[in-house]
Amino acid sequence: MRCMHFLPALLLAVNACHSIAQQGTAITIPAGTTVVVLGSVAPVTVGESARTAEVLDTQQHPLAFQTIEDYIRTDASVDIEQREAAGVLSDISLRGASFEQTLVLVNGLRMDSAETAHFNLDLPVPLAALGGIDILHGAGSTLYGSDAIGGVVDFVTASPEATSLELRAGTGSFGENQQALLGSLVQRRWSEMLAGDRDFSTGFIGDRDYRTENATSDTRFATALGSTEFLLAGDDRAFGAAQFYGNYNSWERTKGWFSGITQQFNAHTDAAIGYRRHSDLFLLERNQPTGYKNQHIDDGFEGALRDRREILRHTVLLTGLEETTDHIQSTNLGDHGRNREAAYGEIEWRIPGKSSVSAGLREELFSGGRLVSSPELAAALQLRHSIKVRASGGYGFRIPTYIDLYYSDPTTLGNANLKPESVWSYEAGADWFPSAHLGATLTVFDSRQKDTIDYTRASEACPWQASNLPGVHFAGVESALDWQMDAKNHLQVSWAFLAGAQSALHGLQSEYVFNYPVNNGRVALSWNGPHSLLVNSRLGVVERYQRSTYPVWDASLAREAGRIRPYLQMTNLTNTGYEEILNVRMPGRSFVGGIEVAFTHKR
């Protein structure tokens, strides 16, 4: 079996990382901390959740991670497929689902682009302004709607605790230079946080240069209506796209704007309104600006009203209403729009610390009268010796993007006759939390898709054609160990194995769906030494379907306290030549170093 060849490499990775550090600090939320876990009706501890979920704290070790992708990669069940470094253009997927089958949220509001899911991680919020990343494994359409086939990822902005100012500047390999600013003002009934960053590189090879800029304003205040959060954000990314979508030295520039208002009326009722605008300018051949060119502008509006209350002892009912509108204007795709309305409810009965059962249903109505029902059932039971067993099953669905339906260029063709895709997914697992410092999880899952959308072709001489694939089926195993060895020492080890049904291709080549990792192993270890010194080491070993296994080792050094905080971020120390997307090279060994200056005033 492939996994038997892969495991020795992962064990060597554990030993290599352990020899580097002996102390560290956790980046995950402790199992006993009560938070609102994705997929759960009411706030629960991570250890009590009936679904497989990960909660990452991005406010810890901010100088150790260069991008949001670096944080997410600590979860072996998540696959990041990058076309460019520094998070310029990345796809995210879970459990073998394609990147278009993963729903991305910011503060609970949808970020999925109606044009294409390639831009789902075009987050306009700088990394320094984020407080956490919540990841739900498996179908989540009951609570979150379309696109939640493989899972849901919610990026949550930070709530400032003190008036502060942080300034950062760094430089590194391939002409890279970066600057960042984070400032916050905290008063008794309101706070304001401003953040911005810029990253520039001449590229590790020709036509792979990039420039990214992000800025955000996050205002929080309390009135007689309750607590309010108002988020404004924008980003601008220009990059060389050599070989990204075929044998062309392409170029692309994307811009995004996002605004969201979240209103908490009382302990159980809240509302949210969001607007997202995204533009995409694409040149198939960079040196021929008058040649083949596309320009797309899409707008999305969303409104949501949610109510969560205890209707009986230990019984919580969650209900919600949503309205979403999408519209696109494009030189290639045309002018299109669609609406959808949804109502959902989920009821959960829980005996704290012992067991829980939940059941939910969503009804979503699309333009043209199509109605989609999404049920879900989950249960958890606490056994002796700190062991919890859990199981769940649910339905997920996705409607095609406008690229899927209407796109046309020399390398890629859409298909206006595509059907929506759907999935029934099931999982069962056990969690072991013998103490607040140690936790282990094991999950097996099964995902059976219908009308999976992929781009296929008969040979390299043919263009990619969007089509529905029948009978796509994934099954797999997820495992993780999280050990807080002492107050400063933390180790994470995770491994995911995935098996898929390739018979759906019928001899055709697949562009996206069958690029999944058969084996994906992760080891992360931190060490905090004297004078607030942090050493962070992260090593991944990946084997993609019908491709060779490759290791990638990242590490960082930083001073985490004091006014002057130097840092060094090292990427791909193994200098591995690898591709996460076929025929798109990733950079070799590279370094970025700099200094952060911090000023803080606490009330």
Range of the domain at 258: 2-601
pLDDT at 36: 55
Is the pLDDT higher at 232 or at 247? 232
Give the residue with greater pLDDT, 506 vs 585: 585
Report the chain's mean pLDDT, rounded to a whole number.
Answer: 89
* pLDDT of the residue at 42: 65
Q: How many CB atoms lie within 10 A of CB 548?
A: 8
Exposed, middle or buried by CB within 10 Å (0-12, 13-18, 19+), for 19?
exposed
pLDDT at residue 31, rounded to an integer: 52
Q: What is the CATH number of the domain that holds 11?
A: 2.40.170.20
Confidence label for 26 from pLDDT (cuts 50, 70 and 90): very low
Domains identified in the chain, total number: 1
pLDDT digits (tens, 9 = 90+) for 306-349: 999 999 999 999 999 999 999 999 999 999 999 999 999 999 99
* 8 A C-beta contact, residue 393 and residue 138: no
Percent of the chain's residues with pLDDT above 90: 71
**pLDDT tens sequence across 344-397:** 999 999 988 889 999 999 999 998 888 999 999 999 999 987 899 999 999 999
The pLDDT tens digits for 217-226 are: 999 999 888 9
The model's confidence at residue 501, banded by pLDDT at 50, 70 and 90, is confident
| Beta pairing, strands 176-186 & 163-172 | antiparallel
- Over residues 460-477, the mean pLDDT reads 92
Q: How confident is the model at residue 8 (pLDDT cuts 50, 70, 90)?
A: very low
Long-range (24+ apart) CB contacts under 8 A made by 573-580 are: 576/550, 576/551, 576/552, 578/550, 578/552, 580/80, 580/81, 580/82, 580/83
Question: Has residue 54 got a pLDDT over 50?
Answer: yes
Question: Rounded mean pLDDT of 446-465?
Answer: 92
Q: Is the pLDDT of residue 565 over 50?
A: yes
Q: pLDDT tens across 128-166, in order?
A: 999 999 999 999 999 999 999 999 999 999 999 999 999
What is the value of pTM for the model shown? 0.92
Closest-CA residue to 302 (of 494, 21, 114): 114
Q: What is the pLDDT of residue 60?
A: 84
